[in-house]
Chain A
Amino acid sequence: MAAYQDHFFTRGPSPLARLTFFSLFAVAVMIADHRFQALGVLRQGVSTLLTPVERALMWPGKVGRDIGDYFIAQEKLLDENKALNDKVLQLSAEGQRAQLIAAEQEHIAALNAANLRFNRKGVVAEIIRDARNPFARKIVINRGYADGIKLGSAVIDGNGVVGQVTAIGATSAEVTLTTEKDQSIPVMVIRPSRLTVPSAEPPSEAAATTTPATDTVSASQRTATTRERNERGGLRAVAVGSGRDGKIELPFIPVAADIQVGDTLVTSGVDGTYPAGLSVATVTVVDKNPAFSFARIVASPATAPDHHRFVKVLDTADASYPQVDPAIADRAGQEKSALSKREAKLDAKRALRDR
């Protein structure tokens, strides 16, 4: 009673004063979080407290789903089995090829006394849920810093890159998908059809398409150079998420760039976050309007993380930027000017001939 009377009339600052104080505080927090990423500790602490609660809350739904699964399991398993068998067959061919390439790569690496570019260690994690935020493209996985996950690690699944770890709790982590607005990832364009069957296009056919007979040699040379370029991996670019499901964009690609619908985007590895060679997306729209200086290029991501449950978080702590031998770098710097001159000459020749 006495305690009650103590603050019967003392109400503290007025609502407006409090509103001003708290709004300014909230805005300050937002700026600190957005601009300086300064509040990771607070976020980590709160999420560590919330995670067990969220786990518990998912339990009834999980039990329900498990019961449902039990009844449809048989059919689903058969389907899945078939799909997996198909995939095994498909992959075994590729796998053998990859083995060869890996062996070659190892050989070359040994010759160069250089390290392999990345190690393939990682942690397998289960996707717990989507982030409860209609404005964000994020998922939450069931591994956190207790499992050795680090901020910024790349997350992949069987089909390619899923995204990147952007917030960590003790036993959970947030993964921002590649489709999140402004989430960018350095890529390289490759053309799978020519890559897998380079011998499928006979040089005579290529020669026949270019009319003058005298040009046969140079034409076949030309196909050889394009093929070489494709095998090397052509255009390098930065893919940027669009904020919409199933859409990644490639801004700032010149209209004249060599890119087609069906091209595959793989990580180029220049950022030191994503190891090179993981598939990111397939180009679905190429809109080359000469009125604009850049082409509009849209790609659909290689993975659909809402369709399955497991991902792998790569251990990128040891992944370093692609190492360049200083001697080579020096030489490259000197050769660059010469090379570009030579290429310019070649281009001019080609232009003349095409005319």
Chain B
Amino acid sequence: MDLSPVSRDILRPPAPMRLVLGSLALALLINLLPWSGWALIIRPDFVLLMLLYWVVHEPQNIGQTWGFALGLVMDVADSALLGQHALVYVVAIFLTELLRIRIRHLSVIEQALHMLGILFVAQLIYIGLNLSLGRDFAGFALVLAPLLGALLWMPLHFVATLPRFRRRGDTALL
């Protein structure tokens, strides 16, 4: 069938919820690894990245509610002030929701650039919140985290769109 990108997108079957939740759980596990020192400072937030991916591709299922809930979990896990990650995730997801339609029809590299912007804003909010609490600035290496996150967007996009992760038999919908 010859379809425009937009209609192809609309007609694509939804990803199975199992896959969505499984990938979010995996991202959470990666975040929960005992990161410390430099690795911790430049670690991209895998949970946020995975959330944004599903916001772009499954906006019906994953939105700000999930962001808020997982944000609270990350706050507890990172011994941070409760609500910090929640706010950051919610804002990032909002921005992604605004740019969603556009992002879906760009090439992967252009998508990654959009993600860089969003992740950067998220990181700025996170740093700003901590500085406003009187904490010391942890160094400019913090800027590397969104950069690495944007780079990770590309393999993430590639893996998650592999045909084997799509539900079989859903072509009936078309």
Is B71 positioned at the interface, with any CB of A under 8 Å from its CB? yes
Interface: A208 (CB within 8 A): no
Which A residues between 10 and 69 are near B, CB-CB below 8 angstroms? 15-16, 18-19, 22-23, 25-30, 32-34, 39, 42-43, 46-47, 50, 53-54, 57-58, 61
A151 CB → nearest B CB, Å: 14
Is A236 close to B, CB under 8 A? Answer: no
B82 and A132 contacting across the interface, CB-CB below 8 Å = no
> What residues of B have a CB within 8 angstroms of the CB of A4 in the complex?
14
Asked if A313 is an interface residue, CB under 8 A from chain B, the answer is no
* Beta-carbon nearest neighbor of B76 in chain A: A46
A53, B29: Cβ atoms under 8 Å? Answer: yes
- B32 and A133 contact, CB distance less than 8 A: no
| Interface of B: prevailing SS | helix
CB nearest to A61 among chain B residues: B34
B138 / chain A contacts, CB cutoff of 8 Å: 134-135
Q: A15-B98, A30-B87 are in contact. Are A129 and B136 (CB under 8 A)?
A: no
| CB-contact partner of A33 in B35, B71, B83, B97, under 8 A | B83
Q: Are A132 and B36 in contact (CB under 8 A)?
A: yes
Flag if A133 contacts B83 (CB, 8 Å). Answer: no
Tell me if B135 and A136 are in contact (CB < 8 A). yes
Contacts of A7 in B (CB 8 A): 60
| CB interface residues, A 216-240, toward B, < 8 Å | none
Neighbour of A42 across the interface among B29, B82, B134, B136, CB < 8 A: B82
B interface size (C-beta, 8 A)? 44
Which of A18, A47, A182 is the one whose CB lies under 8 Å from B94? A18
B77 touches A30 (CB 8 A): no
Q: Known contacts being A19-B64, A132-B35, is A30 close to B78, with CB within 8 Å?
A: no
Known contacts A181-B135, A243-B135; A26 and B76 CB within 8 A of each other: no
In the complex, what residues of A have CB within 8 A of residue B29's CB? Answer: 53, 57
Contacts of B82 in A (CB 8 A): 29-30, 32-33, 39, 42-43
Q: In the docked arrangement, what's the CA distance between A22 and B36, Å? A: 30
Q: Are B90 and A19 in contact (CB under 8 A)?
A: yes
A140 at the interface (CB under 8 A from B): yes
B54 within 8 A of A: no
Q: How far is the CA of A128 from the CA of B36 in the complex (A)?
A: 12
Asked if B79 and A132 make an inter-chain contact with CB atoms under 8 angstroms apart, the answer reads yes
Interface residues of B in 79-138 (CB under 8 A from A): 79-84, 86-87, 90-91, 94, 97-98, 129-130, 133-136, 138
Q: List 23 A-B contacts (CB under 8 A).
A: A15-B94, A18-B94, A22-B65, A22-B68, A23-B90, A25-B83, A29-B86, A30-B83, A30-B129, A34-B81, A42-B72, A46-B73, A46-B76, A50-B73, A53-B29, A53-B32, A57-B32, A57-B34, A132-B31, A132-B32, A132-B36, A242-B136, A244-B136
For the complex with contacts A28-B83, A54-B32, A132-B35, 5 further pairs of A-B residues with Cβ separation under 8 Å are A29-B82, A43-B76, A46-B72, A128-B34, A131-B79
Residues of B within 8 A of A (CB): 14, 29, 31-36, 40-41, 60, 63-65, 67-68, 71-73, 76-84, 86-87, 90-91, 94, 97-98, 129-130, 133-136, 138-139, 142
